[in-house]
Amino acid sequence: MEGFTYVDIFATKGIEYLVIILFLLLIIPFWKFLSK
Amino acid sequence: MNGKMAKGEIESFGDFVTFIITELKPKGRGFTVFNVISAPTILLGVILIVYRLAKGLGYPVTNLSQEFPWGIWIGFDVMTGVAFAGGAYVLTFVVYILGLKKYHPIIRATVLNGFLAYVFYAGAILLDCGRWWNIANPIIGNKFGVNSVLFLVVWHFMLYTLAELVEFSPAIAEWLGLKRLRKILGSLTLGAVIFGITLSTLHQSGLGALVMMAKGKIHPLWYTEFIPVLFLISSIFAGLSMVIFEGTISHRVFSRQIDEDHHRSYNDILVGLGKICAVTMFGYFFLKVLIFIHGKHWSLLNTPMGYWYVFELIGFILIPCVLFVQGVKDRNLISIRVAAVITMLGIIINRLDYVCIAYKWYLPMSERYFPTWIEIVITLSIVFAEIWVFRWIVNRMPVLRKSPEWARQE
């Protein structure tokens, strides 16, 4: 069993939010592009 | 055959026996390339399975050990096989819940495929259990084993197999000419579908949850708390890719059974399946990127396992996604089929990563797991036996061909 390590889950929050927003912005145009 | 049988009605036990004996006769050519390869493999596999059950899991039967307790029977037969069987729950959701009847012509073949997959791959679990005679324990209660995810897996496999049997049973009733039974079984379909979809979401992710306790043994690029979610989402496009692959082969092999309407609509069906795969893989790719960023494993990318991770992500997720998109836009069925095959290879690699490639990656090659020839032959014999059963059923029951007139009128 490994020892205790502190994981800072907020260190990458900014980039994660950007990735999610990018996904949400792209998914609907992507679906519409495929459906045309 | 007597007049009653000619009309397809079974009215007595004698009729039933006559019918079954007639149906047991082989149909089609005997000495095809597939039969010549698969029949001896299955026979050898049966002998090896008996040997394995008698002698145990140790060498020379398998190369499994305390270091590598799971190999290709779990990694390929169970984890990959069940992912490929995911086409059944996805397609039944699309047809019966979303109401997209366009996919109805392929639903029976897909459900049959899924049913056989679970039956045979539950058998593969039996083979992988050291004390296989205890396989019924989670069900009969001789130490249920509720602390293990396998308790869930066992119950779900059993219940889902039953649900798929109920979904497929109208085809069996039509084959036997049992009209009243067909009506009753048809009324159970929607309930079985809903039950099956509910079960699938948990056991598909549950197979991923099996490896959650192996933190430290699975490479950090693969290990994440989101493994169950990744397994669930990947089972969607894995299953549909299998539907595309199996459908392509079935439509060639059984083309005489398929009517003109079905042949004409099949291209639309393929394009539709390709579209669903493309969108799901698009979302899955973003999820993988998100999980990678969250894990902060940037430094691991410039390592051999890092290259393998990127190769898997780009080569088996992004590239088939692009191929699916191109195939859907241009209605290029070859692109869609190639994308499906690459996706399936990617799923095989992904599942084997968790079991033996990215698992204990730090050990030298001399100490890593490689399957024995016995494991490989047994795996092949399970797959071939499933194909034989699938072929037997499709040649006799209304799976690809239309239901009899009396059933369609209901």
pLDDT at B4: 43
pLDDT at B9: 64
CA atoms within 13 A on the CB side of A3: 0
Task: Give the per-residue pLDDT at A28.
Answer: 94
Does B104 map to a domain?
Answer: yes
CB B77 within 8 A of CB B382: yes
A–B interface: beta-carbon pairs under 8 A: 35
Q: Do A12 and B279 touch (CB under 8 A)?
A: no
Count other C-beta atoms under 10 Å from residue B93's C-beta: 18
> Is residue B303 domain-resident?
yes
Grouping H, G, I as helix, E, B as strand and the rest as coil, residue B57 is: coil
Residue B3 lies in a domain: no
Per-residue pLDDT, B263: 85
What's phi and psi for B316, nearest 5 deg? -115, 0
Indicate whether B222 belongs to any domain.
Answer: yes
Domain contains B195: yes
**What pLDDT is stored for residue B3 in this prediction?**
41
Low-confidence ranges of chain B (pLDDT < 70): 1-9, 410
DSSP letter assigned to residue A8: -
What residues have CB less than 8 Å from B335, skipping those under 6 apart? B323, B324, B326, B327
Domain assignment of residue B133, yes or no: yes
**What pLDDT score does B16 carry?**
84
Across the interface, of A11, A16, A34, the residue whose CB is closest to B290 is A16
Other beta carbons within 10 angstroms of residue B386's beta carbon come to 18
Cβ of B296 and A35 within 8 Å? no
Which residues 258-287 of B have a C-beta within 8 angstroms of A?
Answer: 275, 278-279, 282-283, 286
Report the Cα B51 to chain-centroid distance in Å: 26
CATH code at B152? 1.20.1630.10
Measured between beta carbons, the chain A residues lying within 8 angstroms of B275 are 34-35
In this predicted model, what pLDDT tens digit does every residue of B39-56 receive, in sequence order?
999 999 999 999 999 999
Phi-psi region of B148 (alpha: psi -120 to 50; beta: other; left: phi over 0): beta
Residue B215, beta-bridge partner list: B218
pLDDT of the residue at B231: 97
The region that residue B64 occupies, defined by phi over 0 for left and psi between -120 and 50 for alpha, beta otherwise, is beta
ipTM (interface pTM): 0.87
**Which of A7, A26, A34 is the best substitution to test chain B (most B C-beta atoms within 10 A)?**
A34
Domain assignment of residue B410, yes or no? no
Using the beta-carbon criterion (under 8 Å), do B293 and A35 form an inter-chain contact?
A: no
Choose the closest CB to A20 out of B275, B290, B328: B290
CB spacing of A23 vs B286 below 8 angstroms: yes
By Cβ distance, the residue of B279, B286, B294 closest to A34 is B279
| Closest by CA position to B309, among listed B294, B321, B298, B320 | B298
Residue among B326, B340, B327, B237 nearest B279 (CA) = B237
SS3 B177: coil
Dihedrals φ, ψ of B365, to 5°?
-55, -35
What Cα–Cα distance (Å) separates residue B317 from each residue in B246, B341, B350? 20, 12, 10
Could you tell me the pTM of the whole model? 0.92
Q: How far is B335 from chain A (nearest CA, A)?
A: 15
Give me the amino acid identity at B146: V
Please report the pLDDT score of residue A2 as a whole number.
Answer: 62
CB contact B331 to A (< 8 Å): no
Query: Please, what is the Cα angle at B193 between B16 and B20, to 5 degrees?
Result: 10
The verdict on residue B57 lying in a domain is yes
- CA pseudo-torsion sign B319, B267, B174, B170: positive
Residue with structure tokens 């393929």? Answer: B270
Residue B234 β-bridge partners? none
Phi, psi values for residue B396, rounded to 5°: -120, -35
B212's tokens = 């959650």
Find the DSSP H helices in A1-36.
13-35
Domain count across chain B: 1
Q: How confident is the model at residue A1 (pLDDT cuts 50, 70, 90)?
A: low
**Domain membership of residue B126 as a residue range:** 31-400
| C-alpha of B60 from chain center | 28
Indicate yes or no: CB of A16 within 8 angstroms of CB of B294.
Answer: yes
Query: B294–A9: do the CB atoms touch at under 8 Å?
Result: yes
Is B233 touching A (CB cutoff 8 A)? no
Question: How confident is the model at residue B8, as a pLDDT?
Answer: 54
Name, in order, each residue with C-beta under 8 angstroms of B56's C-beta and a sequence gap of 6 or more.
Answer: B130
Per-residue model confidence (pLDDT) at position B408: 80
Contacts of B296 in chain A (CB under 8 A): 11-12
**Chain A residues in contact with B278 (beta carbon < 8 A):** 34
Burial class of residue B182, CB neighbours in 10 A (0-12, 13-18, 19+): buried
